[in-house]
Structures are given as structure tokens and as C-alpha cells.
Structure 1
Amino acid sequence: MTRRYPSTIAAAVEHEIVITKSRFVAHAVPVTGPADAERVIAEIRRAAWDARHHCVAMVTGVLGDQARSSDDGEPSGTAGVPMLEVLRRRELTDVVLVVSRWFGGVKLGAGGLVRAYSTSASEALDRATLVRRAALTEVTIDVEHGDAGRVDNVLRDWVRHHDATLGTTTYGRLATFALAVSAGDLDALRADLAAASAGALVPVVGAETVVDVVQP
């Protein structure tokens, strides 16, 4: 059975809501790990220095096995944990959520706070572009420079129809294309490359790794 990995988000998003005169500004930001998340939190705190609270939820790690939340002065369990539950329900990782609140003078109560922070987090993530992750096999293909343009077109079309992603091409003595391909599609790649090049192109198969699957 193929393991499913949590997704992440492609880029940072910001979203604001106002509830009973209190202003909530949510930031959902992709991060590389806890240290990167702490950097993001510090930057948001500095930028929104006049907010009363900066509540946090983060999930990190390839399997989403590291998590932390903070109510930052709100009643215990009314902010960070509900935000964390939003990340868990959506099966996201390597994401930090920071919701800054400017108090509007009207107390919301515990239930109102839970709804406000959950809604703020959810609506921010609704605006994010999701990036699927999968365990794919690294593949490289060496090509003469004169054939690089044609092969690039072939590979871009190929990954659109298979569980694969095209990486960065490097240029040295030869042009080297990098792909990440599902194990089940490796034979198809070999056959299709052979057919497109009269047997001249042979992919070199490397290790399996978990990658962000971004289609061209």
C-alpha cells in the first residue's frame, strides 16, 4: 500500500476578519521546520507589534509528526489548539499559522474565541494553494545540448500524464534533466524515452525521496 504524506502550501497567505469589533489577521506560511517557523513568528510579532495576542499553531516534519500551539494570553485552549486542529483536519505539514488579534472592547467568551480563531485559520487556508507530497524516485537523463530543447518538451508533456515532476536542468558537458517519478511509472519512462530517441536516451535511477509534486 502506498503511503500518503501530508500536503503543504505553496506560498504565504494573509487573511483578515472582524468579529464583534475584534480584528483577527491570520498568516499561513510554509516553513522548513521549527526554527524557520520561529523566525516567521518573530517577524509577524515585530510587524504587528500593537496586537494584543499572536496565537500560533504549527505542524512540521515529512509525516507531520511535530506540532506546537500557543494561546499567547488568550484563555487556555481557545486559540492555539483550535488552530492546530484546522491544520490536522486538512492533513497539512510544514506550515505555521499565526493569528494576531486586536481587541475590540467586547469579550467573546470561550466558545466565541474558539470559533473566531478556527474561522480565521480556516479562511486563510482556503486561500492557500496546496502542494501534494509523494515518495518518488529520483531520475536523471543526460542529453546532448543540441537535443536538449526537444527532450525538454518531451519530458514536460510526459510528467503531465504521469505521477512525476520535472526538476532543475543542469548544463555541463551534457544537459542533465532531473525528474522525480513514481516507482510504478519507471518502466513507462524507460519505454517512452527509448521510443522518442531510437533507444539513445537511458534514464539513470537514483534513490526514493519525498518531494513536492508541482505540475508544470
Structure 2
Amino acid sequence: MQDEYRTVARAGVHETEVNRSRFLCSLAPAATEQEAREFLASVRKEHADATHNCWAYVIGADAAVQKASDDGEPGGTAGVPMLQMLLRRDMRYVVAVVTRYYGGVKLGAGGLIRAYGGAVGEAIDSLGVLTRRRFRLATVTVDHQRAGKVHNDLLATGRQVRDVRYGEAVAIEIGLPEAEVAAFRAWLADATAGTAGLTLGDEAYGDA
């Protein structure tokens, strides 16, 4: 697994104009290829009257899935430059759709490549980026008497508390960078006089 990846901070639309053609870049996070396709379908429906709805998406922290479409523009002048911009910016789990409303002036292959790639780059700048880092999910099990203090200490030290479950004991699920597991285990033993348990789970990604 990658140690970290970048994705768009939020869904949104950024508009640019090149030689009277309007380029609307709709950008959104997408956890799966299905989500990316659903977003694409919604943009196509909203802009059914557009000249083109070109798209690209990258799914997977390692960019395992990369797809793009020129949607009727000359081959290689729209979808590929959009995809290349996403990859150049290290964007993952993201879908971009650039809707073009033709303004009457032909841009030529070079102009189209710059316009489509540039629309994606400007949209990324406008909407912002999140960095997600790899974490090991871990569950701290502690008695009710100590749970409140442990919970507060975790928050005070900037730990990601993902869930708290109350039963015979209190289970607090957190995210830990792999390199910090040993140090955290020692801190927990010290903070709870050795009474707390720590169970390591799967790996996941969280906001940096």
C-alpha cells in the first residue's frame, strides 16, 4: 500500500473560457469506479446540451484504475491530457468531467490539450486538496473508570478516534501510523497501569 495519496477536498465546478468556448470542470472524490461512473452520468445528464463531456478518473491509492474519454474531440486531445493532469498532481480516488460549450473558434490539437488539461489543473487549485495517510486501525480496550481520561488524552495528542463502543469494557477505535505502534503501546501501558488492551486491525487511509 502507498503511504499516502492526495485527493480533491470536495466536489465542485470550476469554469474557464478559451476563445469563446466555455470549459466547465466538474471534479469530485470517488471511492470506487462505480462512484466515478455515477458522477459522470449525472454531469452528462445536467449538460446534455453541451458539445462534449470529456472525462478522466483515477481510482486506487496506487492509481490501479486509470480511464479517460475524449467524447468526440480529436483523439488524445481531451481525456488523456485530463488524466495526465490528475496523475501529475498525484491525485487519486478522483473523477474529472470537463464539459465544453463550443464558442465558434477552433482551438486546434495543441489548444485543446492545453484547455482540457488546464481546466482540470485550475479546478484542483480552486477546490483544494486533501492528503490521506496510511494508518493501522487499532482498538484500545479499557475499563469504564479509565475510559474518559484515555479518550481525552487520545484527542489531546491528536489521535484519530474513529469509534467508541461501550460494553463490559470500553472499546476505542483509533488510527495509528505503523511507525508509532510500538511507542503507542508503551504509552498506553504507562497511562493505564498496564490495564488496557491494544488490538491491531486492518490498514486504512485517513486525513493527514
TM-score normalised to structure 1 length: 0.87
**Structure 2 unaligned spans of 5+:** none
Partner of 1:61: 60
Partner of 1:181: 176
Q: Distance in 2 between matches of 1:79 and 1:179?
A: 42
Q: Distance in 1 between matches of 2:143 and 2:128?
A: 40
1:91 maps to a residue whose letter is: D
Partner of 1:85: 84
Partner of 1:130: 130
Is 1:143 the counterpart of 2:142? The answer is yes
Q: Which has the higher strand share?
A: 2
Task: Give per-residue Cα distances to partners, 1:127-175, cap 9 Å, x unaligned.
Answer: 22323232x32210123445433222211233x3xxx633222333433
Partner of 1:108: 107
Contact in 2 for aligned 1:13/1:125 (Cα 8 Å)? no
Q: Distance in 1 between matches of 2:22 and 2:33?
A: 27
Secondary structure at the aligned position of 2:181 is classed as: helix
Q: Distance in 1 between matches of 2:102 and 2:195?
A: 67
Shift of 1:55: 0.5
Shift of 1:120: 0.7
Is 1:214 the counterpart of 2:207? The answer is yes
Alignment of 1:28-47 (within 5 A): 28-47=27-46
**Structure 1 unaligned spans of 5+:** none
Shift of 1:114: 0.9
What's the RMSD between the two structures over aligned residues?
2.0
Q: Distance in 1 between matches of 2:60 and 2:8?
A: 14
Is 1:203 the counterpart of 2:191? The answer is no
TM-score normalised to structure 2 length: 0.90
Secondary structure at the aligned position of 2:117 is classed as: helix
Shift of 1:95: 0.7
Task: Give per-residue Cα distances to partners, 1:96-140, cap 9 Å, x unaligned.
Answer: 110111111111111111111111100111122323232x32210
Q: Distance in 1 between matches of 2:2 and 2:43?
A: 35
Q: Distance in 1 between matches of 2:169 and 2:162?
A: 16
